[in-house]
Amino acid sequence: MANYKVTFNHKAEPVVVKSGTLITEAARLAGIEINQPCGGQGRCGRCVVQVTEGKVRQRSTLRLSSEDIGLGYCLACQSVIEGDLSVLVPEQEKVERRLVTDRTAVEVEPLPGYSPEYHQSLRRYFLDIAQPNYEDQTDDLSRLQKHLRVALGFEQVEIPVTLIKKISSAFREGNWQVTVYLDISSGEDGISLIRLVDIVPHHCENDNPIWGAAIDIGTTTVTLWLVDLWTGFVHAQVSEYNAQIRRGEDVISRIIYADKEGGLQELQQLIVGTINQLVELACKRVKDYTVTPEQILKVTVAANTTMMHLFLGVPPSYIRLAPFIPTFNQAPLVRAQEIGLHVNPNAIVDCLPGVASYVGADITAGVLSAGVDDTDKLTLFLDVGTNGEMVLGSKEWLVTCACSAGPAFEGAGVRDGMRATTGAIEEVWIHSETYEPTYRVIGGGKPHGICGSGLISLLAELFMTGVIDKAGNLNTSLSTPRIREGEHGMEYVVAWGKETVHGRDIAITRVDIDNLLRAKAAIYAGFIVLAQSVGVPLEETEQVLIGGSFGKYLNIEKSIQIGLLPDLPWEKFNFLGNTAVKGAYFALLSQENRERIREIASKMTYIELSADNTFYEAFMSAMFLPHTDINRFPSVMEAIQSVKVPIQS
Amino acid sequence: MALSGIQIYKLLPQTNCKECGFPTCLAFAMKLAAKQVELSACPYVSEESKAQLEESSAPPIRLITLKSDGYEVKAGNEVVMYRHEKTFYNKPGLFVKIKTSAPEGDVKTLAQRIQEYRVNYVGIELEVDGIAVEDDANNPERMKATINAVRSMSKKPLMLFSRSASSLEAGLPQLSGETPLIGCADSENWEKYAELAKQSKTALAVIADSVDGLAELTEKAKSKGVEDLVLVPEGKNLGHELILQTQIRRLALKANYRAVGYPTLVFCQNQAQMAQSIAKYAGFIVIDQFAEELIYPLLVLRQNIYTDPQKPIQVQPGLYEINNPQPTDPVLVTTNFSITYFSVANEVEGSGLPAHLLVADAEGMSVLTAWAAGKFDAERIAKAVKAANLDEKMTRKRLVLPGAVAVLSGEVEAELPGWEIRVGPREAVDIPKFYKQVLLVN
Amino acid sequence: MRTITLGALPAEGGTRKRVVTVGGETAMPFMRFEGEIPNPPVVAIEIKDRKPEDWSPLLIETWEDVIDDPAKWAAAAEAAGADLIVLALSLPNRNGEPTTPDEAVASVKAVLSATGLPLIVFGPGQAEADNTLLVAVSEATKGERLALGICEDKNYRTIVATAMANGHLVTARTPMDVNLAKQLNILISDMGLPLDRILMDPTTGALGYGIEYGFSVMERLRLAALQGDKMTQLPMIVTPGFEAWKAKESKVGEGVPKAWGDWLNRAINWETLTAMTLVESGADIVVLRHPESLKRVKSAIDELMAAKAFVS
Ligand code: SF4
Ligand code: FES
């Protein structure tokens, strides 16, 4: 039999292998370990390499785009060597970006052609104030007002007492030169009310940053972006679990807690506390400047309606009681100090408008940032959070609904769940014969827990390999020590204690599986009801945009396999990361966008799921893997047949 | 064809002006599609759109109302073949037959029993709807006398059946101001009966053994100006009757065949026929025996079949005993959502351990949903305990709350002095373990 | 709808004198003018392996002479006109100890020799006991084409496996939900048991206790089946006898409202009306407890089947 030379990564010394050898084996001989998450079964597509010279016979090209195949990419575990070769083994991260099933969050970019003076609402003016004397006995406040009127043409400027206190010293300290910050946000009726936000001595550098923050208050996760309004550039992105979690996992628990004596106040303090921490953290993260929280002058907030109420300290009681009427969908602008936010006390806090009790500003902001209101394509937009909120529509019309998915996809409410940060398992593959898992950890170190994407991936693998049946029951008759009786019933061990950070086993329990099933069923049922409500078949959707706290990564194929996402061609999906905070960021940067959010809120039609039992029906039918009606998931049906789940007894 | 929300939306102005009372035109369109609002609520619909939207409106099955002094029975207006598609609206009127050949004393007694029959089912008072006087004596005098005897005891709506128009003529003046039903008009006597119905403004029952026969009669009666018609399909046997009923309903709904767009009436002789008529499309049911032990289940069946299936599946709130519990055994509390109930009941049953399962009325919601909506709180739980009289029944007062509402334990304790309040597991599967490890230990 | 045969004749490896075939419908119940109704619904009588403690005194009285002997009871049920027998095993035996597999096998064998009708065997309804008892019964009666129950979504593997190995059928029970019913059928057939060996029990409430849900779920399952959904094309078995006799209306004779009328008649009406309503919604096998209800339901089914093809 013929022998061939194979060179890896341009190394000088090729290895010599027999004809018919797989690239993975040749690599091992060359001392290079190619990752084989699925155990070389040609299922995962993770062992991608690029053949730069020579030809191989490919048994399978699963998950590779035709473009990549043209460039010589192939699956190492499926490629048989039949000639001399030169092979490049790419880094894992680059592999993902190439796979048609994987999505990493789209990066943020400032608006094209951004100009601070034209787009956003904070204005900085350098004033030279006429000094008083014995003739001109005008007081400092009137002096400032006169200057604003005469030099800048602002007739009416709101100046709070806290700023009046600063005027005299600023004038004198700056030797009658001051910098003022004004907010010119236009109100609901289009009439501008000008607000003084800060006054400081001296003229600062013309291109000094003007700091603003965009915030998304999720029920489970809070995210904050620190933005230089002058350049539009995001300098820090931070997030943390909402400290209110200890008072209940979902909005309902929080509402009920808020009804208790002192509860509302406590929850308000907890959320503001979380945000204040994030502000500090974000300021520290900024590389090129020293930023203090007091320099943040404008804040836009996206949040679900309950969180918005709690953030402002407004009782949310009626949100949970039929017919579900919130106190407000659109709050007026407030000053930071009114709610205890530790940014500049006079900073303008703009709470973005929502639609209804269960469709808040996080969704309107998400729709904006995803551009759903601006597209001709029939779009399904989904924001996976503790509440799964979704929108169907296009430029012409928008319908929306919200379903209680629970925090499972945010890694909460699952025994070994965690946020998508360092140490989280974000992807799992299980060998279909040995039932041994391979996983990938964010940051590459030892695992600490499993994040939302990891849970989706894990559930899909458990199902595809027959470790669980379609109802989520663990198959106890398989011979593997990983399936065992745990404290909460049966469980499957993903990582043994010796592999983990904390030395404890990381496992998924039957209860976790139920939680995940419920979460995914609620979301899918939402799609069904939404589509039904307007009489548009779900299959007609032209694009699916996904937002949420999945971290940076989502596997579309796995999400379809568990029946979370509808079975549409992979290329129709796009993962946008946290769309709510991005929407808040857009609103922070542009008054036009801010106005668009208002329009979105007013034109979106809200479907109340509890109005009848169509949602319940759809939910029950989705409480199965991938779905009771398998015909809705033809690709999964095919995949199951190709994996050939062994018959269990 | 019914238009979808989006199709209707395209015919609306799309300005989202909110004047119709809905936040967007699409919201309004969806309500229109669901037939929950009138098109006229939007002042801005173009004439053209109006024409397109108004075509499918008139109800396919005519609403017939029988009236007497203080009573009313309705039938018709149904819109579906199967109750799960929406709901059945007007419960079939239940009438008991009284014969003119019966002695006056018997008539009075029976009429009185019918008038007074009242039974409580889950808090609802159920009653018989009316009396059908059958002129088996074929005698106008008897008809008149029987009606008077009935009326001396009962004011409920009447049906008058006779083979001769003269009996009806004699009877009807006794019922002035009422809307009874008269019948049955067949291919021979229809003309006279129709005239009578028209004159005295009664509803008219027409009888035939085929759909075509019935349609022919209704067309004829209509031509005489009688609008309120009731169909009596005369089946040769139970199976034939079911087929006729089904065909009539289907033609009325699916083919919009107006000639059979009326409620039906069945004369029932046995329980099978009664069950079938209630389940399958009768608008009125006439039974020829009055026995409490039959009337009660029939009224309940009718109530059940005509509940709105859009409401969540519920089990009867109350106390359920599992595995022969003693007054010392624990009381587990849960909600009356069927799936919740079943999962709890199955776990307890499967464990073989005795328990009282107290199902609180949470409007058919699961524990968490009900709690979220304020339908499963300490107050309701305490109410359920009282309603089941547990304070007296139980010698050891131990109440186990679902783990998902652990937060309620303090309030429940306050509501139920003398009770030991325990917090159970969150998931039903963990109940047996909890029972063995916690409840059995102390 | 699929056609399913219960019981096996000697020539087929069993000992039954008669087999029962259900299913095969191509239309909604009894709509013979638009499809085939090849097999009428059948009526089973439920018996126990020992005198049941929690049954209504009316039933105990009715079966008084045979209630202590499942074989005699089965013969009496056959004599009363049952099409098949449902034998429900008890958790504790006569002596209050858990029924052993041997005892269960003995009861089943006794019933099989006392009657020529096909047999359905239900475990006591507790997962562990069901599994051990039914496996023993299944192995001891290999080839009889019994139907073994009850498979539920949390406990089906063992029963399905033993039914598969020994040529029996299973009944799959789900709590009044179309989707759950379908899901369990999928889970069972995923194990490799052919669909024509699964009966589905969508459960029902009795009259007054949720019958409307059972009614609608069955209608919907039948409609879905007729639209080509394979996983709902299984014949349906329901237990109105069990449900109706659990109701206070049937169980209790004293201290009830006068408006409820005569106890015995009421109880029989309760069972009959529950059963008939379910027959109307598509039940293929109804399991009853009282011989009088059996008589009434059977005669109604005869009348329903008597309708000649009728074309409008
Ligand atoms: S009144 Fe007419 S135009 Fe205005 S929102 Fe309602 S449907 Fe639209
Ligand atoms: S596809 Fe090659 S290792 Fe998975």
pLDDT at C312: 40
Summarize the confidence of residues B265-288 as an average pLDDT: 95
pLDDT at C96: 77
CA-to-CA distance for B25 and B30, rounded, in angstroms? Answer: 9
CA-to-CA distance for B369 and B373, rounded, in angstroms? Answer: 6
Query: Which member of C54, C260, C277 has the closest CB to residue B275?
Result: C277
**pLDDT over threshold 50, residue A647:** no
Lowest mean pLDDT among A19-23, A418-422, C168-172: A418-422
Tell whether domain A3-88 is in CATH 3.30.70.20: no
pLDDT at A105: 61
- Domain ranges in chain A? 3-88, 116-201, 211-361, 371-405+522-642, 408-516
Distance B20 CA to ligand 1 centre (A): 5
Quick one: tokens of B187? 């291919």
Task: Please report which confidence band the pLDDT of residue A33 belongs to, taking 50, 70 and 90 as the band edges.
Answer: confident
Distance B86 CA to ligand 2 centre (A): 51
Pairing assessment for the beta strands A221-228 and A573-577 based on DSSP bridges: unpaired
Which class is A211-361 in CATH? alpha beta
Residue C254 lies in a domain: no
DSSP per-residue letters across C47-116: EESS--SSS-HHHHHHTTTTTT-HHHHHHHHHHTT-SEEEEEPPSB-TTSSBPPHHHHHHHHHHHHHH--
**pLDDT over threshold 70, residue A644:** no
**pLDDT over threshold 90, residue C216:** yes
pLDDT at B30: 82
C131 vs A644, which has greater pLDDT? C131
Min Cα–Cα distance to chain B from A611, Å: 9
Number of domains in chain C: 1
List, for residues B108-117, the tens digit of each pLDDT value.
999 999 999 9
Domain boundaries, position C109? 3-249+259-304
Question: Which of A176, A174, A178 lies closest to A198 in space, CA to CA?
Answer: A178
CATH number of B318-439: 3.40.50.11600
Summarize the confidence of residues A594-623 as an average pLDDT: 86
**Per the CB < 8 Å rule, is C186 touching A621?**
no
Summarize the confidence of residues B123-135 as an average pLDDT: 92
Cα C149 to chain centroid distance, Å, stands at 9
CA-to-CA distance for A585 and A228, rounded, in angstroms? Answer: 11
Burial degree of C57 (CB within 10 A; 0-12, 13-18, 19+): exposed
Pairing assessment for the beta strands A379-384 and B181-185 based on DSSP bridges: unpaired
**Per the CB < 8 Å rule, is B243 touching C32?**
yes
**Per the CB < 8 Å rule, is A469 touching C190?**
yes
Cα C287 to chain centroid distance, Å, stands at 4
**pLDDT over threshold 90, residue B266:** yes
List, for residues A127-144, the tens digit of each pLDDT value.
999 888 888 888 999 999
pLDDT at A324: 84
- CB–CB of A217/A245 below 8 Å? no
Tell whether domain A371-405+522-642 is in CATH 3.40.50.720: no
**pLDDT over threshold 90, residue A39:** no
**pLDDT over threshold 60, residue B1:** no
A535 interface with B at CB cutoff 8 Å: yes
List, for residues B183-205, the tens digit of each pLDDT value.
899 999 999 999 999 999 999 99
Chains that touch C (3 or more CB pairs under 8 A): A, B
Query: Which member of B239, B297, B352 has the closest CB to residue C306?
Result: B239
- Report which residue type is found at B252: A
- CB–CB of B28/B20 below 8 Å? yes
Task: Evaluate the CA torsion angle B246, B247, B252, B258 in order and state its sign.
Answer: negative
Chains that touch A (3 or more CB pairs under 8 A): B, C
Burial degree of B383 (CB within 10 A; 0-12, 13-18, 19+): middle
Ligand 2 atom closest to residue A44's alpha carbon, by position in its atom list: 4
- Type and span of the H or E element at A17: strand A15-18
Mean pLDDT of chain B: 89
Query: What region does B305 belong to: left with phi over 0, alpha with psi -120 to 50, or beta?
Result: alpha
List, for residues A324-336, the tens digit of each pLDDT value.
889 999 898 999 9
Cis peptide before B184 (omega within 30 of 0): yes
Query: Which member of C161, C183, C192 has the closest CB to residue A470?
Result: C183
**pLDDT over threshold 70, residue A303:** yes
Half-sphere exposure of A450 (CA within 13 A, CB side): 29
Summarize the confidence of residues B216-231 as an average pLDDT: 95
- Domain ranges in chain B? 5-57, 64-305, 318-439
**Per the CB < 8 Å rule, is A535 touching B24?**
no
Residue C309 lies in a domain: no
Q: What is the DSSP letter of C155?
A: B
Question: Which of A197, A240, A171 lies closest to A411 in space, CA to CA?
Answer: A240
pLDDT at A572: 92
Same fold, A211-361 and A371-405+522-642: yes
Min Cα–Cα distance to chain B from A541, Å: 15
* Cα angle A254-A257-A261, degrees, rounded to a multiple of 5: 150
Summarize the confidence of residues C127-150 as an average pLDDT: 93
**Per the CB < 8 Å rule, is B239 touching C262?**
no
CA-to-CA distance for C264 and B121, rounded, in angstroms? Answer: 19
**Per the CB < 8 Å rule, is B371 touching A252?**
yes
Quick one: tokens of A25? 């084996």
Chain C residues lying within 8 Å of A624, measured CB to CB: 179, 183, 186
List, for residues A370-419, the tens digit of each pLDDT value.
999 999 999 999 988 777 889 999 988 899 998 887 778 888 778 999 88
Task: Tell me which CATH homologous superfamily contains domain B5-57.
Answer: Electron transport complex subunit B, putative Fe-S cluster (1.10.15.40)
Q: Say which residue the tokens 């029951």 belong to.
A: A473
Task: Please report which confidence band the pLDDT of residue B26 belongs to, taking 50, 70 and 90 as the band edges.
Answer: confident
Task: Please report which confidence band the pLDDT of residue B312 belongs to, taking 50, 70 and 90 as the band edges.
Answer: low
Q: How many CB pairs under 8 A join A and C?
A: 43
Task: Please report which confidence band the pLDDT of residue C311 belongs to, taking 50, 70 and 90 as the band edges.
Answer: very low
List, for residues C91-116, the tens digit of each pLDDT value.
887 777 888 999 999 999 999 999 99
Lowest mean pLDDT among A133-137, A540-544, C23-27: A133-137
CATH of the domain at C265: 3.20.20.20
- Type and span of the H or E element at A148: helix A140-152
Question: Which of A180, A207, A197 lies closest to A126 in space, CA to CA?
Answer: A180
Residues 158-217, chain C: which have Cβ within 8 Å of B? 175-177, 205, 207-213, 215-216
Task: State the CB neighbour count (10 A cutoff) for residue C130.
Answer: 24
Pairing assessment for the beta strands A122-128 and A177-183 based on DSSP bridges: antiparallel
A606 interface with B at CB cutoff 8 Å: yes
Summarize the confidence of residues A307-312 as an average pLDDT: 96
Ligand 1 site residues, Cβ closer than 6 angstroms: B 12-13, 15-20, 22, 25, 28, 42, 44
CA-to-CA distance for B26 and B162, rounded, in angstroms? Answer: 55
Summarize the confidence of residues A24-52 as an average pLDDT: 84
Beta bridge partners of residue A201, listed in sequence order: A178
**pLDDT over threshold 70, residue C87:** yes
Residue C275 lies in a domain: yes
Residue C65 lies in a domain: yes
Where are any strands of DSSP class E within chain C?
A: 3-6, 20-23, 42-48, 84-88, 119-122, 147-151, 169-173, 198-201, 237-238, 285-288
Considering the entire predicted model, what is its pTM?
A: 0.83
Q: Calculate what percentage of chain A has a pLDDT beyond 90.
A: 50
CA-to-CA distance for B352 and B322, rounded, in angstroms? Answer: 8
B64-305 topology per CATH: TIM Barrel (3.20.20)
CA-to-CA distance for B238 and C310, rounded, in angstroms? Answer: 13
Quick one: tokens of B89? 């609206």
CA-to-CA distance for A58 and B418, rounded, in angstroms? Answer: 76
C216 interface with A at CB cutoff 8 Å: no
Task: Please report which confidence band the pLDDT of residue A95 belongs to, taking 50, 70 and 90 as the band edges.
Answer: low
CA-to-CA distance for B185 and B218, rounded, in angstroms? Answer: 10
Chain A residues lying within 8 Å of C159, measured CB to CB: none
List, for residues B147-175, the tens digit of each pLDDT value.
999 999 999 999 999 999 999 999 999 99
- CB–CB of A476/A483 below 8 Å? yes
Same fold, B5-57 and B64-305: no
pLDDT at B2: 65
Chain B residues lying within 8 Å of A395, measured CB to CB: none
pLDDT at A649: 36
Query: Which member of C207, C269, C270 has the closest CB to residue B304?
Result: C207
Query: What architecture is domain A116-201?
Result: Roll (3.10)
